């Protein structure tokens, strides 16, 4: 990310240097002037810089650097925005759409891309080559006989057909005696319909509500009750998908980047809701370019829809990993994970979760099995019913308190302890979890300490990020400090964390969103290394660097003030000395002859 040359420290130092140089600039006026920007010189020519500069001014370069590809895709072949390659629009209409867009497109102001740059982009798009032809151009059309789906797709998508025909939905009869389904055998058409034109246009869209027709209880728990989400979000946002697309700065990020990064995991529940879909356009209209959505297949991969797969930790790995939530890595490096790795081949994965007899818990077992007071077990897709700390970002809001003591959270803790008692005594289970609570709060205390340092820097005006230069591809958008909570939002969403921030803010974000969360997740997933080396120890390191940088900012500000004082008071002091000398001379000239002079005369 490019940083602005007018960040607070640089701005002040540059101002100071300019003021100093201004006092001695006159003698240099007669020297040879520097070549104007872009002028050719022997050295630049030898290095090939001139050609590189011309490439950077080309329409192709500008199309990427100014963020067009974020919505319209590489080479303008389309994304959440329409295809713009080989655009038939004249430049005037093209310019008007960019400055005053229709539909979902955000406006691109002059400060983001100039008219001349847009002219070059327009010329580039008009000459983009046509995309390569489809491998198969003869597609079926209209409404088709459902009986022919498998035979046709068997030659083209053999794995898909094989998976479905061996799945519980593709085999006739009742495969799960615990659940009574209204239909004993499904075909492709039951989920996708029979209109092949619509299937192609919607990329085979199957909303979660379709799954809910046969799985109403699971749909209720998983989607409607936000069972796979940390509950409703702040600022009146709902479950994970809303918290992904509804936060500030999401609209300013390249949509293709979000499609590859944040969108797939946040789409695990609710992203196919009808409010995000347009039947008229046969497309999603929520601003995301993610087309393939269905939360059920996040764990039960299509088209096998395997229960056995979803019961294993690897099903969770895709999303519950990485620096902000290393649940999988922490679990696999714990004793529970070691036992799983050593004995998974010996375990019966076809057994329903409540009846499983495994030597260690898995993600699904801990979060989906509920035990009643009599020891009876049931499974539920309400997976967050035992989670107290959620994402774990309380300290980012300045909160430092033990939230486990509320009646609601005490009930959640009891549910988790009952599952732990499969293998452990109640005392050991409660004791470990309370120690993990303390470990979490110890890290939070360091985050709050860092947050207080930022408060002081903001109050003293030492962090004033500039938007004169933005990172390539980002649009201008709302700017919040690292500690503000506008509209009740906590600042812990990826788009906001790294939307043109200063280095000290990034240090703070890395501290609480990565290192402190690794520490917290490590403790609750029983991983010593993630609790300490990858977690708490890193938090301490971030705090040390943040303190040093805060000290540097204050030292630079003090130097700036002293330098300015010397610059502005130095001439006055010189004038004062000269004035004093002059007045002394005047006094000496104007005084009468002394006694010695009179006698000598």
Preceding amide of 303 cis, omega within 30: yes
Q: Predicted confidence band at 435 (pLDDT cuts at 50, 70, 90)?
A: very high
What residues contact 225, with CB distance under 8 A and at least 6 apart?
382
DSSP letter at 27?
Answer: G
Output the six-digit token pair for 37.
């920007």
Separation of CA 518 from chain center: 16
Q: Does the structure show a pLDDT above 80 at 267?
A: yes
Q: Does the structure show a pLDDT above 70 at 236?
A: no
Predicted local distance difference test score (pLDDT) of residue 19: 46
Give dist(CA 479, CA 325) in Å, integer.
Answer: 26
Q: Predicted confidence band at 391 (pLDDT cuts at 50, 70, 90)?
A: confident
Q: Does the structure show a pLDDT above 90 at 393?
A: no
Output the six-digit token pair for 507.
């240090």
Predicted local distance difference test score (pLDDT) of residue 129: 92
**Looking up tokens 């983001």, which residue turns up?**
112
Predicted local distance difference test score (pLDDT) of residue 42: 54
User: Three-state DSSP class for 318?
Assistant: coil
Q: Predicted confidence band at 52 (pLDDT cuts at 50, 70, 90)?
A: low
Predicted local distance difference test score (pLDDT) of residue 411: 97
Q: Is residue 123 a contact partner of residue 111, using CB atoms and an 8 Å limit? A: no
Q: How many CB atoms lie within 10 A of CB 546?
A: 24
Predicted local distance difference test score (pLDDT) of residue 528: 97
Ordered by where they begin, the domains of the chain are 54-130 (1.10.760.10), 307-463+502-550 (1.20.850.10)
pLDDT tens digits, 99-121: 999 877 888 888 889 999 999 99
Most confident among 107-111, 238-242, 268-272, 339-343 (mean pLDDT): 339-343
Give dist(CA 154, CA 152) in Å, integer.
Answer: 6
pLDDT tens digits, 120-129: 999 999 999 9
User: Three-state DSSP class for 544?
Assistant: helix
Q: Is residue 252 a contact partner of residue 287, using CB atoms and an 8 Å limit? A: no
| Average confidence score pLDDT of the chain | 84
Give dist(CA 601, CA 592) in Å, integer.
Answer: 13
Average pLDDT over residues 503-529: 94
pLDDT tens digits, 304-324: 999 999 999 999 999 999 998
Predicted local distance difference test score (pLDDT) of residue 59: 93
Q: Predicted confidence band at 6 (pLDDT cuts at 50, 70, 90)?
A: very low
Q: Predicted confidence band at 506 (pLDDT cuts at 50, 70, 90)?
A: confident
Q: Does the structure show a pLDDT above 50 at 55?
A: yes
DSSP letter at 190?
Answer: H
pLDDT tens digits, 169-204: 888 876 677 777 777 788 999 999 999 999 999 999
Measure Cα distances from 491 to 221, 287, 372, 445 in Å. Answer: 28, 21, 38, 18
Predicted local distance difference test score (pLDDT) of residue 593: 62
Q: How many CB atoms lie within 10 A of CB 79?
A: 20
Q: Does the structure show a pLDDT above 50 at 22?
A: no
Give dist(CA 191, CA 210) in Å, integer.
Answer: 7
What residues contact 69, with CB distance under 8 A and at least 6 apart?
63, 75, 76, 79, 254, 256, 473
Higher pLDDT, 334 or 56: 334
Give dist(CA 530, CA 537) in Å, integer.
Answer: 10
Using CA atoms in the order 509, 511, 516, 518, what is the torsion angle rounded to 10 degrees?
90
Type and span of the H or E element at 283:
strand 283-284
List 284's β-bridge partners, or say none. Answer: 277
Predicted local distance difference test score (pLDDT) of residue 94: 96
DSSP letter at 487?
Answer: G
Q: Does the structure show a pLDDT above 60 at 494?
A: no
Could you tell me the maximum CA-CA distance found in the chain, to the nearest angstrom? 140
Q: Which of 96-100, 115-119, 410-414, 505-509 has the lowest mean pLDDT?
A: 505-509
Predicted local distance difference test score (pLDDT) of residue 501: 76
């Amino acid at each position: 990310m490019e940083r602005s040359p007018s960040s607070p420290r640089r701005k002040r130092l540059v101002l100071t240097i300019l003021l100093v140089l201004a006092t001695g600039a006159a003698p240099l006026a007669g020297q040879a002037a520097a070549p104007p920007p872009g002028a050719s010189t022997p050295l630049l020519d030898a290095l090939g810089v001139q050609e590189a500069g011309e490439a950077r001014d080309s329409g192709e370069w500008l199309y990427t650097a100014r963020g067009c590809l974020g919505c319209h895709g590489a080479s303008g072949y389309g994304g959440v925005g329409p295809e713009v390659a080989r655009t038939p629009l004249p430049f005037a209409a093209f310019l008007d759409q960019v400055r005053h867009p229709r539909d979902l497109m955000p406006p691109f102001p002059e400060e983001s891309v100039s008219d001349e740059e847009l002219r070059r982009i327009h010329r580039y798009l008009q000459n983009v080559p046509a995309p390569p032809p489809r491998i198969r151009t003869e597609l079926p059309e209209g409404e088709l006989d459902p009986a022919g789906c498998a035979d046709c797709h068997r030659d083209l998508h053999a794995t898909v057909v094989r998976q479905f025909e061996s799945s519980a939905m593709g085999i006739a009869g009742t495969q799960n005696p615990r659940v009574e389904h209204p239909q004993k055998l499904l075909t492709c058409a039951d989920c996708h319909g029979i209109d092949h034109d619509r299937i192609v246009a919607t990329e085979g869209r199957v909303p979660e509500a379709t799954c809910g027709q046969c799985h109403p209880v699971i749909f209720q728990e998983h989607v409607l009750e936000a069972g796979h989400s940390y509950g409703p979000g702040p600022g009146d946002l709902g479950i994970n998908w809303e918290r992904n697309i509804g936060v500030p700065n999401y609209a300013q990020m390249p949509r293709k980047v979000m499609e590859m990064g944040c969108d797939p995991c946040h789409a695990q529940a609710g992203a196919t809701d009808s409010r995000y879909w347009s039947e008229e356009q046969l497309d999603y209209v929520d601003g995301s370019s993610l087309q393939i959505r269905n939360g059920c297949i996040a764990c039960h991969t299509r088209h096998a829809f395997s229960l056995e797969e979803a019961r294993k930790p690897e099903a969770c790995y895709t999303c519950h990993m990485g620096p902000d939530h290393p649940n999988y890595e922490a679990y696999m490096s714990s004793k529970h994970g070691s036992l799983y790795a050593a004995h998974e081949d010996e375990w019966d994965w076809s057994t329903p979760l409540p009846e499983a007899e495994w030597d260690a818990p898995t993600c699904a077992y801990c979060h989906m099995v509920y035990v009643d007071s009599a020891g009876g077990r049931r499974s539920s897709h309400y997976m967050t019913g035992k989670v107290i700390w959620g994402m774990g970002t309380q300290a980012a809001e300045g909160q430092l308190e033990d939230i486990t003591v509320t009646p609601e959270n005490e009930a959640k803790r009891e549910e988790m302890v009952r599952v732990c008692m499969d293998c452990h005594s109640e005392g050991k289970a409660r004791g470990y979890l309370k120690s993990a609570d303390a470990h979490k709060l110890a890290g939070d205390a360091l985050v709050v300490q860092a947050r207080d340092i930022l408060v002081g820097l903001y109050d003293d005006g030492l962090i004033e990020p500039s938007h004169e230069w933005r990172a390539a591809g980002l649009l201008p958008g709302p700017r919040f400090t690292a500690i503000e909570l506008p509209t009740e939002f906590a600042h812990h969403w990826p788009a906001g964390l790294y939307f043109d921030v200063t280095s000290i803010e990034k240090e703070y974000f890395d501290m609480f969103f990565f290192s402190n969360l690794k520490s917290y997740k490590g403790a609750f997933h029983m991983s010593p290394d993630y609790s300490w080396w990858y977690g708490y120890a890193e938090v301490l390191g971030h705090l040390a660097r943040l303190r040093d940088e805060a000290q540097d900012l204050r030292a630079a500000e003090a130097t700036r003030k002293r330098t300015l004082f010397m610059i502005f008071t130095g001439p006055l002091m010189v004038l004062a000395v000269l004035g004093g000398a002059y007045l002394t001379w005047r006094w000496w000239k104007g005084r009468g002859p002394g006694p010695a002079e009179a006698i000598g005369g």
